Chains A and B, each alone.
Chain A
């Protein structure tokens, strides 16, 4: 069972293989006749955060477990794959939250649970005054138009036997968005919006290149004028020169239609560019969440630090050789039987006794910055004593401390509180 999961996870990022590998002379037809619009190269700066934006999607304590069955005569349930285990976050209206992490961390499962491709095991997904986690299937159909999904692989997510027009028009027909005779007009508008030739509505997906197919997927997602789009690795299957085109397109659409994005990707640089806020996941949990500067410039979780240091940097060319980096040992443990306490402790360079005993709470340490670690600190400046003992009501080794009373003040809420624990000043900070 665990093997199956392993495989599924590892295939996640591999589809680049198909295009970079032996498909070297694929797509000749499209590339030749596609006119190149040289005006379409305006550079886009990174998206900016609007701290005042109200939340459009609030996820609280979301759990997604998949049962594991025994192989005996009677297939009783013997455990769960804890793919997502209690994540909370807020996606602001018209903003973007990035969800990063490695294969099997649960980021894609989170996205699928939110779009209700899966039924969550527990937790709530608040959207427009309703809880998507428990909503009836009739109401769900209505909500589907408000939350749309863009998939990773533009080769397999479009039905090859349907024309582009019918692919993009299908959601319009199903949800009766426009009168029948207006469908084509709307499809053509959408094609134009995503930068495709509106006259091509009669063509089939295989007549388009990878980047163009991803644009078709985006047009389909846009058809119902959604408020939220869950984009699951939307560019990782595309050639590098095309990735930027698609990211810029998404930025333009976000601005124009005020769409909120939950942007799921393993490419930290792309997420940094697209998302003013980022959540880092490890083995089903959020280990650190915050605005761009907090995560990329001021990461306090050893996993985030390791992740960031592992990214190969083109600027290294001026120095030569390999960059200094934190080296994580071993592999991610199985989500069926995750480590006790902190899930990262088995690979953590600074783990101590308490880490095996208690799960660190996701503690707010800045205006828009939360971290789940007993020893949070900048790289090389991790505190010697755990900082979470007060919250948990335990002593430094993790034994219950009769003197301390556990408190939940700074933890476990989606979004950010007005007060936080300032690590530098060792006191409560205030907005």
Chain B
């Protein structure tokens, strides 16, 4: 298993390198003069050239990428130009390995930016995943065991409705009614655990977490329902019943065990995707998470931040994939890692 994990990790690292390089290339392939944009409308050609040099955009792409990779391995100091550093030592910021870069626009290293934003996205994602798993799996099981009845049809119908509304609509709707008009929850703003304690932290996450969960809930209800139905039609369920086991044991011990396995994969990958930031939800609720960071960086053509977020999100997905595959081998004894 360790050999498997090691091999997968090695492949993952190569993938991340490729990913970052592609991002560099795409960034500079865009029909925009990035330096002019960064400098602002009033800049003269000369100022633009200075900005370009300051941002390091004047160097060839592969050199910039090489510096980026080196930063990850060995750390860097910013500004990159040693002369500039020598001239104004008070502006130098150290960026220890693994250094993802320095955002001039935010005057912070990308590591710091991500360090501020990531806990918010992670908290949001975790709250959402718990909500949609509890809701999705239990509703899915309920629909499966009452297949064809009014309950089943009701659940499936409701999930379709939830599916049909776009997340920004539900977000704004919830914000307006649940938080503002009915005041069921406080107007959500992110409060860290250190600042407000667990309860406040959680209370503030309920509404955005719910909006995010709704987005996935429908899919999980329907998948759980399908997997449970499939599992219940397997021969081993008949065997379990033929043994004289109670219906409850047949359903939960024999039926669900197999049905929930594919959900582990789905959950792992969906969660990984979310850790990179839930763009719409964070925008609606103005949560300064990775999603919002990404939006701001993209709007400002802030290359280091973009690269940083892309690589981080990519790493989440790769790690989640490895974990899911290894988890699978623990769940299903037939799976052998190799």
Shortest distance in angstroms between A407's beta carbon and chain B's nearest beta carbon? 45
Residues of A within 8 A of B241 (CB): none
The answer to the question of A71 belonging to the interface, with a C-beta cut-off of 8 Å to chain B, is yes
Q: Does A72 contact B (CB under 8 A)?
A: yes
How far apart are the CA atoms of A99 and B6 in the complex, in Å? Answer: 45
Residues from chain A with a CB closer than 8 A to the CB of B4 are: 71
When each residue 1-26 of chain B gets 1 if its CB lies under 8 Å from chain A and 0 otherwise, what string results? 00110110010000000000000000
Given contacts A1-B336, A3-B336, A73-B10, 13 further A-B contacts (CB under 8 A): A1-B338, A21-B235, A69-B338, A71-B4, A71-B336, A71-B337, A71-B338, A72-B3, A72-B7, A73-B3, A73-B6, A74-B7, A75-B338
Residues in B1-55 with C-beta less than 8 Å from chain A = 3-4, 6-7, 10
Query: Of A1, A3, A21, A73, which is within 8 A of B7 by CB?
Result: A73
How far is the CB of B236 from the nearest CB of chain A, in Å?
Answer: 13
CB nearest neighbor in A for B1: A71
- 9 example contacts (A-B, Cβ-Cβ < 8 A) are as follows A21-B235, A71-B3, A71-B4, A71-B337, A72-B7, A73-B3, A73-B6, A75-B7, A75-B338
Report chain A residues within 8 Å CB of B10.
73
A74: chain B residues within 8 A (beta carbon): 7
**At the interface, is chain B mostly helix, strand, loop or mixed?**
helix
A101 to B135, CA, bound (A): 53
- Measured CB to CB, the closest approach of chain A to B239, in angstroms, equals 12
Shortest distance from the beta carbon of A199 to any chain B beta carbon, whole Å: 36
Which 7 residue pairs across A and B have the least CB separation, nearest first?
A71-B338, A72-B3, A73-B7, A73-B3, A73-B6, A71-B3, A71-B4
- Contact mask for chain A residues 1-22; partner B; CB cutoff 8 A; 1 contact, 0 none: 1010000000000000000010
- What are the interface flags for A86-126 relative to B under an 8 Å C-beta threshold, 1 for contact and 0 otherwise? 00000000000000000000000000000000000000000
Chain A residues positioned under 8 Å from B6 (CB to CB): 73
Give the shortest distance, in Å, between A7 (CB) and chain B (any CB).
8
- Whole-angstrom distance between the Cβ of B336 and the nearest chain A Cβ: 7
Instruction: Report the bound CA distance from A13 to B6 in whole Å.
Output: 39
Tell me the count of chain B residues lying within 8 A, CB to CB, of chain A.
10
**Chain B residue at minimal CB-CB distance from A68:** B338
Residue of B nearest to A69 (CB): B338
What's the minimum C-beta distance from A81 to chain B, rounded to whole angstroms?
14
What is the distance, in angstroms, from B12's C-beta to the closest C-beta of chain A?
14
Within 8 A of B (CB), among A34-91: 69, 71-75
Residues of A within 8 A of B235 (CB): 21
Chain B CB count within 10 A is highest, among A1, A21, A72, for A72
Q: Residues of B contacting A69 with CB < 8 Å?
A: 338
Contacts of B338 in A (CB 8 A): 1, 69, 71, 75
Residues of A within 8 A of B334 (CB): 3
Query: Within 8 Å CB of A21, what residues of B?
Result: 235
Bound complex: CA A74 to CA B6 (Å): 10
How far is B338's CA from A69's CA once the two chains are assembled, in angstroms? 8
A256 CB → nearest B CB, Å: 42
Chain A residues near B3: list those with CB within 8 A. Answer: 71-73
Most buried by B among A21, A69, A71: A71
- A79: min CB distance to chain B, Å: 13
What residue in chain B is nearest A1 (Cβ atoms)?
B338
Give the nearest-CB partner of B6 in chain A.
A73
Say how far A167's CB is from chain B's closest CB, in angstroms.
Answer: 28
B336 contacts across to A, CB distance below 8 A: 1, 3, 71
Q: How far is the CA of A75 from the CA of B337 in the complex (A)?
A: 12
Alpha-carbon separation in the docked complex, A73 to B3 (Å): 5
Cα-based distance from A21 to B234 in the complex (angstroms): 12
Cα(A72)–Cα(B6), bound, Å: 9
Q: How far is the CB of B230 from chain A (nearest CB, A)?
A: 14
- Nearest-CB residue, chain A, relative to B337: A71
Per the bound structure, the CA–CA distance linking A73 and B235 in Å amounts to 38
Bound complex: CA A349 to CA B338 (Å):
38
Shortest distance from the beta carbon of B185 to any chain A beta carbon, whole Å: 50
Q: How far is the CA of A12 from the CA of B17 in the complex (A)?
A: 45
Cα distance A59–B334 when bound, in Å? 37
Residue of A nearest to B238 (CB): A22
The complex places the Cα of A74 from the Cα of B4 at a distance, in Å, of 9
In the assembled complex, the Cα of A3 lies from the Cα of B333 at a distance in Å of 11
Cα distance A3–B6 when bound, in Å? 24
Alpha-carbon distance A177/B338, docked complex (angstroms): 46
Report chain B residues within 8 Å CB of A3.
334, 336
Chain B nearest CB from A10 CB (Å) reads 13
Smallest CB gap from A4: residue in B: B336
| Minimum distance in angstroms from B215 CB to a CB of chain A | 33
**Which B residues are CB-close (under 8 A) to A1?**
336, 338
Residue of B at shortest CB range from A74? B7
Q: Closest approach, in angstroms, between the C-beta of B262 and any C-beta of chain A?
A: 19
Cα–Cα, bound, A44→B235 (Å): 38
Q: What CA separation (Å) do A1 and B338 show in the bound complex?
A: 9
Distance in angstroms from B14 CB to nearest chain A CB is 14
Q: In chain B, residues 279-338, which have Cβ atoms closer than 8 Å to a Cβ of chain A?
A: 334, 336-338
Per the bound structure, the CA–CA distance linking A71 and B7 in Å amounts to 10
Complex Cα–Cα for A190 and B4 (A): 52
Chain B residues 125-180 with CB under 8 Å of chain A are none
Q: Which residues of B contact A73 (CB under 8 A)?
A: 3, 6-7, 10
Min C-beta distance of B297 to chain A, whole Å: 37
Residue of A nearest to B4 (CB): A71
A72 contact set on B, CB distance < 8 A? 3, 7
CB distance from A377 to the nearest CB of B (A): 44
- Smallest Cβ distance from B317 to chain A, in angstroms? 22
Q: Closest residue of chain A to B7, judged by CB?
A: A73
How far in angstroms is the closest Cβ of chain B from A114? 30
CB distance from A4 to the nearest CB of B (A): 8
Which residues from B are CB-within-8-Å of A71? 3-4, 336-338
CA distance A236 to B68 in the complex (A): 63
Measured CB to CB, the closest approach of chain B to A143, in angstroms, equals 36
Report A23 CB to chain B, min CB distance, Å. 12
Nearest Cβ on chain A to B316's Cβ, whole angstroms: 24
Complex Cα distance, B335 from A3, in Å, reads: 10
In the complex, which residues 366-396 of chain A have their Cβ closer than 8 Å to any Cβ of chain B? none
A195 CB, min distance to chain B CBs, angstroms: 34
Shortest CB–CB separation between residue A26 and chain B, in angstroms? Answer: 14
Q: Which residue of B lies closest to A70 (CB)?
A: B338
Q: Scoring A residues 278 to 297 as 1 if CB is less than 8 Å from chain B, else 0, what string do you get?
A: 00000000000000000000
A1, B10: Cα distance in complex, Å: 23
Q: Which residue of A lies closest to B338 (CB)?
A: A71
Complex CA distance for A75 and B7, rounded to whole angstroms? 9
Most buried by A among B6, B235, B334, B338: B338
